[in-house]
Structure 1
Amino acid sequence: MINVMNTKFNPAEFSKPTMISVNGIELEVFEAGNQNAGKPIVLCHGFPENAFSWRHQVPALVKAGYHVIVPNQRGYGHSSCPTDVTDYDIEHLTGDLVALLDHYGYEKATFIGHDWGANVVWRLAQLHPKRVNKIINLALPYQERGEKPWIEFMEEIFGGDFYFVHFNRQPGVADAVLNENTSQFLRNIFRKNLPSIPPEPGMLMINLAKAEKPLGEPIMSDSELAVFVSAFEASGFTGSINWYRNLDRNWHLLAEVDPIIQHPTLMIYGERDMIPKFDSLPEFVPNVEVISLDCGHCIQQELPEETNQAILNWLGQY
C-alpha cells in the first residue's frame, strides 16, 4: 500500500500556467514534476470544472514520480474558445491531447479523466490507441455507440428538458442563464451529501443556476470555489457547453472505429453519483478493474485522499 494520506494540496502547484500552441489553438497548461520527465500522466477535467479540479491529485502524483500535465481543455479558462461548434467535436478534443504529447516529446502517456474528460479519454484510446499507455477514468463509464445518435436517443428516453438535449435543441438559452448566474450556479453544483428528493421539473443546469439556496454541503472552500468562478466569468460557458453539442456528430465520427479498448484501465465510480454504472463495461474494456468510493459525482474533489490512494495503488501494479 502506498500511503498518500498526508499529501496536501499546495496552491503553488497551480500558480504558473503556460500557454502552449497545439492543434491550431492555445491551451492553458499546468505542469508539475517535470523533474520526473519520462513518466507523463495527463489529467483531463470535466464540466463545469477545469484543471484546478485535480489540485489534490497533482502533489501525490508528483511525489510518486510522475510528470503531471493538466490542461484547461479548449473552451475552458484561458485556453482558446473557438466560435464554431464543430471545433469542439471529439476529433478536435482528442487531437489537442495528441498534440500536447507531441509538444512534450512523448510517444504515449497515462491519461486520467473525470466526467467529460473521461469521455475524451475513452475516445482518445479508440482514435489514437498508440498514444495511450494506461487509463484511469472517474464517474463516466464507457458509452456504447448504439443504433441511434446519442442526443436523439436521449431525447426519446428523457425528453427535451434533459440538459444534454436542451443544450442541443435550444442553443444559447442555458449559456445565457449560466453566464448571468456564474457564481450561484457553481456554488450550487459543487455539493455533496445531497438529500434524496425528486428532481424539480425543468432543465437541471438552469434550475441550479437560478436556485437561491444550495442543497447538501459544499465540497470545497470559498477560496477554492472562487478559482472556478473567476475562470468561468472570464471564459463564459458556451465553449464548454459546445462539447455537448457535438455528441451526435461524435456518434457519426466513431462509426468505423473499433469499439473495444484494450489498454489497462481503472474505472472509479461514486456510489452516490446520479450516473449509473455500466454493467457491460468489461465487454468493451476487457482489461478493466472497477472500484467504487462512497461519494457523489465529483470523486477526486469529494474524497481526494481515497482517490489518490486508489489511483496510486493501481498504478503501482504496473
Structure 2
Amino acid sequence: MFDPADFPEPTLVPVNGVELEVFEAGRENAGKPIVLCHGWPEHAFSWRHQMPVLAAAGYHVIVPNQRGYGNSSRPAEVTDYDIAHLSGDLVALLDHYGYEDATFVGHDWGAMVVWGLTLLHPNRVNKVINLSLPYQERGEKPWIEFMEEVFGGDFYFVHFNRRPGVADAVFDENTFQFLRNMYRKNEPPREPRPGMALIDLARAETPLGDPVMSDSELAVFVSAFASAGFTGSVNWYRNLDRNWRLLADVDPVIQQPTLMIYGDRDAVQRSERLTDFVPNAEVVGLDCGHWIQQEKPEETNRAITNWLERQDAVRYSSRSS
C-alpha cells in the first residue's frame, strides 16, 4: 500500500477565475506534459500509483484537484461547474505551464471532462487516455431527461438534479461511512432496491466486498471531503443537461489517438459504438471494478506506458520517414 506521506506537496495555481490545488511529479521533464483528471468522489490522490511511473517514463505529470474538490476553489453557482468552466480550467492550466497541448488522462467524471475538453479545445489535446467512462453520445434528448425516462427519479444522476441539496447533506453527515462503503471491490451482486442507492450506501453501517485501499489512504479522501463538503463535486452532475446544450454545435468526432481502459467488472457499460465517435481508439480491459487505477495500479501503469511508447514510436517514425 502507498504511504500518503510520499504524495507530493501541492501548489495553488490561479486559473480561469479560480485556484486549483495542483500536485506534480517529473518537473524535470518540462516539455512533455501529461494531465491526470480524477473522477467522483475522488481526489488527485487517486493517481498516486501512476504519478511516479509516468515521471520515470519522462513525463511532466500534472494532477489537479478540479474545482469543487480538496483545497481548490468551490464557487457557489451551480453553473460554474459546467463543461465550459471545467475544460476552461484545464486549458488555463496548460497556459500557466506554457504548454500548447498535452496528453490528458481521465477516470470516471474526469473522463467525461477529458472527452468534453477534447471536443471543445481539440488543439490543446494531443492524446486521450480515459478509464471507465467511454465517450457519451449526445442523443436527441438532454441526458438527465433521458435518464429519468429510462431509470426513474431515484437514479442518482436524476436525484442530484431534481432534489438539489438532499444527497449532498447525507454525504456530508456520513463522510467516512460513505467513502468507506464506496471504495470497495469484489462486491457480491445485489438485487436492485427502491430508493436512492447512494443515500442508502452512505447510511449503510456494514460495507460489502473488500476495501480498495488502506485505512491511511482512505483517510486522505475522508479528510478532503470533510473539509470541502460534497456540494461542489455533486454540482458537476447538475450541469449535464447544460453540457448537452453547450456541445450542440461541436463536431462530435474525436480524432486524437485514444486509449480506453475498462474494468471488466465495472457497472459502467462498455460502448458498442466507441469507434464511430473516436475512430483512433484502442481498447483495453482489466479484471477489476470501477476504481481501475487504484484496484489494478501495475496493470493500469503497464497499459498506459506501453500505449504511450507505441504512440511515440509511431510519431517518431512518421517524422523520420
Asked if Structure 1 and Structure 2 have the same fold, meaning a TM-score greater than 0.5 normalized by the shorter chain, the answer is: yes
| TM-superposition CA deviations, 1:204-224 (whole Å, max 9, x none) | 210110000000000000000
Q: Which amino acid aligns with 1:141?
A: P
Name the structure 2 match of 1:4. none
Once the two structures are TM-superposed, the CA of residue 49 in structure 1 deviates from its matched residue by: 0.2
Once the two structures are TM-superposed, the CA of residue 266 in structure 1 deviates from its matched residue by: 0.2
| TM-superposition CA deviations, 1:85-131 (whole Å, max 9, x none) | 00000000000000000000000000000000000000111000000
Name the structure 2 match of 1:97. 90
Once the two structures are TM-superposed, the CA of residue 64 in structure 1 deviates from its matched residue by: 0.5
| TM-superposition CA deviations, 1:125-147 (whole Å, max 9, x none) | 10000000100000000000000
Once the two structures are TM-superposed, the CA of residue 199 in structure 1 deviates from its matched residue by: 2.8
Equivalenced residue count is 311
Matches of 2:59 and 2:6 in 1, distance apart? 14
Name the structure 1 match of 2:139. 146
Name the structure 1 match of 2:59. 66
Cα distance change on mapping 1:13 and 1:133 into 2, 3 Å: farther
Name the structure 1 match of 2:318. none
Cα distance change on mapping 1:185 and 1:10 into 2, 3 Å: closer
Aligned: 1:187 with 2:180:
yes
RMSD between aligned residues: 0.9
Matches of 1:51 and 1:148 in 2, distance apart? 33
Aligned: 1:288 with 2:276:
no
Contact 1:58 1:68 (C-alpha < 8 Å) held by counterparts: yes
TM-score, normalising length: structure 2: 0.96
Give SS of 1:317's match. Answer: helix
Q: List structure 1 segments (4+ residues) > 6 angstroms apart after TM superposition.
A: none
Q: Which amino acid aligns with 2:175?
A: T
| TM-superposition CA deviations, 1:46-86 (whole Å, max 9, x none) | 00001000000001101111000000000000000000000
TM-score, normalising length: structure 1: 0.96
Contact 1:185 1:209 (C-alpha < 8 Å) held by counterparts: yes
Aligned: 1:18 with 2:18:
no
Contact 1:13 1:32 (C-alpha < 8 Å) held by counterparts: no
Name the structure 1 match of 2:81. 88
Contact 2:8 2:25 (C-alpha < 8 Å) held by counterparts: no
Give SS of 1:19's match. Answer: strand
Matches of 1:279 and 1:229 in 2, distance apart? 36
Unaligned runs of 5+ in 2: 312-321
Aligned: 1:119 with 2:112:
yes
Matches of 1:150 and 1:227 in 2, distance apart? 32
Name the structure 2 match of 1:222. 215
Give SS of 1:141's match. Answer: coil
Once the two structures are TM-superposed, the CA of residue 262 in structure 1 deviates from its matched residue by: 0.1
1:176-255 matched pairs, under 5 angstroms: 176-255=169-248
Matches of 1:79 and 1:199 in 2, distance apart? 36
Percent identity of paired positions between Structure 1 and Structure 2:
75
| TM-superposition CA deviations, 1:195-249 (whole Å, max 9, x none) | 0121332112101100000000000000000000000000000000000000000
Matches of 2:207 and 2:147 in 1, distance apart? 27
Matches of 1:14 and 1:102 in 2, distance apart? 25
Matches of 1:118 and 1:142 in 2, distance apart? 8
Matches of 1:305 and 1:198 in 2, distance apart? 32
Once the two structures are TM-superposed, the CA of residue 42 in structure 1 deviates from its matched residue by: 0.2
Matches of 2:307 and 2:80 in 1, distance apart? 35
Aligned: 1:301 with 2:294:
yes
2:99 to 97, 101, 106: 106
Once the two structures are TM-superposed, the CA of residue 289 in structure 1 deviates from its matched residue by: 0.1
